[in-house]
Structure 1
Amino acid sequence: MSQLETAMALLMKTFDTYAAGEGSKETLSKAETKTLLEKELPSLLKAAKNPGEVDKLLKGLDFDGDSEVDFTEFVVLVAALTCACHNRACKK
């Protein structure tokens, strides 16, 4: 597989691993999302100045308001964070 195909496969596997924890295997609950962020994006949580920011981020991920994060919402988060990191790296 190419690097991009590998990256896509890792995104799918990561989502599926955390979504399998409780409830629907097609979505992440709030607890599953928080665990994913803590384990897979620890620097993101460390950068948050207070716990309210993390809760705000979790609510912001739930575009359709169903109190769960589906794969599309997850990919939007990863894409947005990737763009932010890329923009930051380009400015250095």
Structure 2
Amino acid sequence: MESLIALFQRYAGKGGYNCILSKMEFLSFMNTELAAFTKNQKDPSVLDHIMKKLDTNNDGQLDFSEFLNLIGGLAMACHDSFLKAVPS
């Protein structure tokens, strides 16, 4: 838990308010922490689409609970991938 909070806080607030990720902070997070994912995307608008989907209150930024939706989705995708890799 502490690591997730620290990760969020590492990127949030560079624009002045440390409780949200601005679009630029979100892009910085994605391009740094999830570089393998972002580099393999053929659609340049994929990060915009992800942000819009995560931004449930449509304020153009991500609070911690919206950020956790990203982390939860990634965890589920990894879990599903591991299950598919394990022989029945």
Q: Is TM > 0.5 for Structure 1 vs Structure 2? A: yes
- The residue type paired with residue 12 of structure 1 is I
Matched, 1:38 2:54: no
Percent of aligned pairs sharing the same letter: 35
Q: Which runs of 4+ in 1 moved over 6 A?
A: none
1:20 Cα offset (Å): 2.4
Q: Tell me which residue corresponds to 1:4.
A: none
Give CA deviations for 1:18-57 in whole Å, capped at 9, x if unaligned. 1121131110000000001111111221232211112111
Q: Tell me which residue corresponds to 1:14.
A: 7
With normalisation by structure 1, the TM-score equals 0.86
* Aligned equivalents of 2:83, 2:29: Cα separation in 1: 27
* Range that drifts further, 46-55 or 12-21: 46-55
Matched, 1:91 2:84: yes
Higher helix share: 1
* Range that drifts further, 48-57 or 75-84: 48-57
With normalisation by structure 2, the TM-score equals 0.90
Give the CA RMSD over aligned residues: 1.0
Unaligned runs of 5+ in 2: none
Unaligned runs of 5+ in 1: 1-7
Q: Tell me how many residue pairs correspond in the alignment.
A: 85
* Aligned equivalents of 2:75, 2:67: Cα separation in 1: 12
Native 8 Å contact 1:29 1:68 kept in 2 = yes
* Aligned equivalents of 1:43, 1:19: Cα separation in 2: 21
